[in-house]
Amino acid sequence: MKKHTGKIWRGLATTTASLLTITLGGSSIANARVDFINATLGTSSYKIEQGDSDSDGIYYESEFDNVEDLVKAKEQLAAEISSEGSILFKNTDQTLPLDKSKEAVTLWGLNSHLPGTGGLIGSSVVADSEDGQIAYGIEEAMDERGFTVNETMKGFYASETCAPYYRKASFFGNEVPGHSLVPAFSASYNEADTYTVGEAPAELYTDDILESAKDTTAIVVLSRDSSEASDYSKNMKDPNGDSFDTPMSISAYEKEMIQLAKENSNGKVIVLINSDVPMEIQKLKDDPEIGAILWTGLPGMNGFLGVCDVLSGDVNPSGHISDTYATSSVSAPAMTNFGLYTYTNASNAESGAELTEADKGDWYVVETEGIYIGYKYYETRYEDTVLDQGNAATTEGSSTGKAWNYVDEVTYPFGYGLSYTTFTQELESIDVISGEKGLAKVKVTNTGDVAGKDVVQLYVQTPYIEGGLEKASIQLLDFGKTEVLEPGESQTLEIEFAPEYMASYDEKAVKEDGTEGAWVLDSGDYYFTIGNGAHEALNNVLAVKTDSTDDLITITDDETIEPENVVTVSLGEDKETYSENVENAFQDCDINNLIPDTAEYTTRSDWSKGWKEVESITPIEEMMKGLTNSTYELTENNDEEVVWGADNGLSTVDFLQFNEDGTFAGALPLSDEKWDQLMDQLTLEEAANFIEKAGDKNFEKLDSIFLPEAIWYDGPIGYSYDQIAGYATRWNESNSSEPTYVSSDNEYASYSMSSMPTEPVVAATFNKELVEREGELFGEDGLWSNANSIAAPGLNIHRAPYCSRNHEYYSEDAMLTNLLGQAVCKGGKSKGLMMMPKHYIMNHQELNRSGVSTFFTEQAARENELRAFQGAMENNYAQGIMTGFNRLGTVYSGASEASQVQVARNEWGFEGWIVTDMINGADYMNWRDIVFGGGGGCLTTSAYESANIGSMTSTENLKLIAKDSAFQKKMKETIKYFVYNTVASNDMNTITTSTKYIHVLTWWQIAFMAAEVVFGLLTLLFAVMYLRNSLRKKTVYVKEDK
């Protein structure tokens, strides 16, 4: 054995020396990539130590003493929003309100048992029922509010007899009651063909069940579902034996049920429309046996309590509809090109396939309706029939097949809503000067015998020349809402409005600086008016223009025509005031500019046009560049060195600003060059990691500038429960000294925060103050849950009623969306919450949303969708935005310089950050195009690692980036927006000017050092042992020689 001892020691020494070499090499490489490893492992090379300070570092304080008070405030506000957002469409013979002390009610319809409260996906309602949180359906809400409800009917609907007819969606293998839509996250080459209405056939109702409803008031519930990742289609059928003309029409089983309700009641029949998508309810409106129709929308976790308050008369309804309720859901020109369209060279083409599955480029949609969405179509075509112009009475687009007639097309116009009392409104004055704020004064008087609120809707008609620039006949400009007015009481509202929103976008206008494209106020008469919806407002204008009411159509019994409520203002032409930095940016999104005569657009000069489907497109070479994800390329252009890793000694704490009295004043202005010095401290790898991994609900911390991690979650009705399961989720004991800390044993620790009504219900309130308050309570949730940002609100417009994600967006109207978006973002920002509106822009259908090419005219995009986002972004109430999945033309929306740089930065002065939606197609949503196109963070943690483009932080890609100074500059620029807004947010709470960042070794660095020491000592030990053994052997040999 002794003979081999030396070999053993030598072998061990060699092995440990090799391990030492590997460890030293690994440590060197790891320390060179410390930022990447820290981000991956969630470690930090710094720790925070609080020094002595006059400030506690709480820049955003809660108005609540405890989380219980916040929860109660949210429940109360949700019910209030729902009560103000409930819309009384019809109320004959004072069917409503009900006297719940005397009237028993029967809830009719299976969907009274499983009503809609939110979306299947997106704005989903989930309550922490284990801890006592309640998600109120209509049954639970009626019990809570003290109604006497027919228990026999409730029991029947809850029985096994009815169960086979329930709406039951399948979501990742799980059954979700109360929903019918089928989400699709992968590529689809067929439109959805099934939809379960969720109603039972009349034959299931026994005589005893029907007898139980006698002498009770019938409340019929009609529901339609909403969901992300799904759309309605014209070819849907009910798999449970029910039938309908369209999924928005009243089905055969629903008709049977309504008939039973009429026959088995005390003569009072009320219909609740429990749907965020407009249903076809003309027959209900015309039915003399139906006394009242009340729209509830999808009211969220607590909203049915507010609905019950309206039914009982405890609250007087004051809601107004945010979408046109058309007689036919498919009659709008937007429905002509909605759904599934594939390029001729799509990846699934039988021959000539050029696109690949990875390109996510197979699909397109052409928005041939132009600016004429919602009421801008129906009311504009109505005016042209009155004025006998534009071939408006043609049969094209008519839902009856006869000459187009407004009375056949619209059931309830945009902005319509009734009250239990009556009001008069007087437009006292209008002051408007181009370039300044406008002011309208409106006196509102309660002329009825019930206290209530009233909404003032201010509309404008701008000059139109037949055959000239496309213009809507009437458009909402602004609105206001009164306080509760007692009978006989008056209030004068002063509504301040922005004249820039009266301007039309002229793609052909040439400004003084020679650039093409401008916001134009045409010379002529501007008609300002008010009304209970767009139709009443337009009739007022037409009465003035025609000096007659003879040919004007009214479609509701309460409608009045008041030419005295029109103020006419003459303005001169102006194409400069609102066009600073403005120029055409979306010309390549008009398919006719790429392939002439592909699309026929809706036009006011001839209403017979715009009804043709664009059924086939073969992309030209220019289009293929975007469709194959080759919009930009990294190149070698190091003419100007970009500084990384500078030792400037700056920290984000240095950018906190304070007023003279010591109160927090936000962050140093973004224009200060000091921000660039801070950005110079970043390392290239750190920056790449930050951009690439803006997913997993966090924005990475940046150790080099001492920026803390920022946490965000979805969504529009409050933080999504599947992402943050309660207030205590993100707290730990180390935070226990913070004033909004919630421990895990708190009674409300696991309460869901997704408790507000859906956005169409919020929109129906027409109450900016109430919506701002909603934003404030979102902000309070941020403080009490230790979160910093929220992906809300949704600001896309309702282009078509068949988009089933409309429940996450406010309205078909850009200005209603604009003003409410401002309000909620302003409220959230006031509490330090970074509001992140979505999905910027043109995300109008969910079918194949990942990669679909959306084509449109520049005028349409600017006057509708972009205008909807403009208010929140231009005023920087929004501190970030999330882009859509879709392409703009053929360029991915998150890589569009047109929308992100030209419009958002150059025209609006937007200072917020930009992040993508979930990376679902890593090659078309690639980091290279995103950064080059003015985008920002990529919502993923690892999607690029398996994509063709590869990870941004791979050694190969970092080398390419290091050679492209233009790309590096864009990286810095986009990160600066994140840092600037984070410094101004609640994420900086507890961080003061005396906060110190101490450099520390991470556990993995310590592990490397320990390994180095151990392997070093072992190598030394084994080498010594080997030498000793060698010397001993040498001594033995000498003795033997002697």
Supply φ then ψ for residue 479, to 5 degrees. Answer: -160, 165
Structure tokens at 452: 């209530």
Q: How many domains does the chain have?
A: 4
Q: Looking at residue 35, what is its pLDDT?
A: 52
Q: Looking at residue 55, what is its pLDDT?
A: 67
pLDDT tens digits, residue range 531-577?
Answer: 999 999 999 999 999 999 999 999 999 999 999 999 999 999 999 99
Q: How confident is the model at residue 1039 (pLDDT cuts 50, 70, 90)?
A: very low
974, 1029: one domain: no
Q: How confident is the model at residue 1042 (pLDDT cuts 50, 70, 90)?
A: very low
SS3 561: coil
Segment 429-435 shows an average pLDDT of 92
Tokens 């006011």 belong to residue: 604
962, 1013: one domain: no
Q: Choose one of 267, 290, 318: the last residue of a domain.
A: 318
Q: Looking at residue 52, what is its pLDDT?
A: 59
Segment 430-445 shows an average pLDDT of 95
Write down the mean pLDDT value for the chain.
94
Residue 826 lies in a domain: yes
716, 852: one domain: yes
Segment 720-731 shows an average pLDDT of 93
Structure tokens at 796: 């896309």
- With both helix axes pointing from N to C terminus, report the angle between 965-983 and 955-962 in degrees, rounded to the nearest 10: 100
Segment 40-63 shows an average pLDDT of 71
The DSSP secondary structure of 813-873, one letter per residue, reads -HHHHHHHHHHHHHHHHHTT-EE--EEETT----TTTTTPEEE--HHHIIIIIHHHHHHHH
Q: 524-557 burial, b if ≥16 CB within 10 A, otherwise e?
A: eebbbbbbbbbbbbbbbbbbbbeeeeeebeebbe
Segment 399-417 shows an average pLDDT of 98
pLDDT tens digits, residue range 678-706?
Answer: 999 999 999 999 999 887 678 999 999 99
- Any idea which of 170-184, 249-263, 336-350, 828-842 has the lowest mean pLDDT? 170-184
Q: Looking at residue 941, what is its pLDDT?
A: 81
pLDDT at 210 over 90: yes
pLDDT tens digits, residue range 825-856?
Answer: 999 999 999 999 999 999 999 999 999 999 99
Q: How confident is the model at residue 1004 (pLDDT cuts 50, 70, 90)?
A: confident
Residue 731 lies in a domain: yes
pLDDT at 33 over 60: no
Q: Euclidean distance between the first and final Cα of the chain, in Å?
A: 25
SS3 557: coil
136, 212: one domain: yes
Q: How confident is the model at residue 1021 (pLDDT cuts 50, 70, 90)?
A: confident
Q: Identity (one letter) of the amino acid at 77?
A: L
pLDDT tens digits, residue range 344-353?
Answer: 999 999 999 9
Q: How confident is the model at residue 253 (pLDDT cuts 50, 70, 90)?
A: very high
CATH number, domain containing residue 855 = 3.20.20.300
Closest CA to 417 of 317, 519, 277: 317
Q: Choose one of 292, 318, 344: the last residue of a domain.
A: 318
Q: What CA–CA distance (Å, rounded) separates 334 from 330?
A: 8
* Dihedral angle computed from the Cα positions of residues 806, 807, 812 and 814, in that order, rounded to the nearest 10 degrees: -110
Domain that holds residue 650: 46-64+640-998
Closest CA to 452 of 594, 318, 301, 589: 318
644, 565: one domain: no
Q: Looking at residue 1040, what is its pLDDT?
A: 46
702, 788: one domain: yes
pLDDT at 40 over 60: no
Residue 80 lies in a domain: no
CATH number, domain containing residue 495 = 2.60.40.10
What is the helix (H) or strand (E) element at residue 256, kind and residue range? helix 252-263
pLDDT at 648 over 80: yes
Residue 598 lies in a domain: no
pLDDT tens digits, residue range 776-803?
Answer: 999 999 999 999 999 999 999 999 999 9
Closest CA to 868 of 826, 793, 815, 806: 815
Please compute Rg for the chain using Cα positions.
32
In angstroms, the Cα distances linking 1019 to 13, 469, 1022, 1023, 1030 are 5, 84, 5, 6, 16
Residue 124 lies in a domain: yes
Closest CA to 857 of 500, 517, 476, 503: 517
Residue 111 lies in a domain: yes
Q: What CA–CA distance (Å, rounded) separates 872 from 891?
A: 24
Q: Are 821 and 794 in contact (CB under 8 A)?
A: no
Segment 861-879 shows an average pLDDT of 98
pLDDT at 1036 over 60: no
pLDDT at 13 over 50: yes
Q: Choose one of 998, 1015, 1033: the last residue of a domain.
A: 998
1025, 983: one domain: no
- Any idea which of 325-329, 613-617, 940-944 has the lowest mean pLDDT? 940-944
Q: Are 887 and 629 in contact (CB under 8 A)?
A: no
Residue 406 lies in a domain: no
994, 944: one domain: yes
Q: What CA–CA distance (Å, rounded) separates 966 from 897?
A: 15
pLDDT at 1041 over 60: no
51, 121: one domain: no
13, 116: one domain: no
Q: How confident is the model at residue 31 (pLDDT cuts 50, 70, 90)?
A: low
CATH number, domain containing residue 109 = 3.40.50.1700
100, 196: one domain: yes
653, 701: one domain: yes
pLDDT tens digits, residue range 755-768?
Answer: 999 999 999 999 99
How many other C-beta atoms can be found within 10 angstroms of the C-beta atom of residue 21? 12
Residue 198 lies in a domain: yes
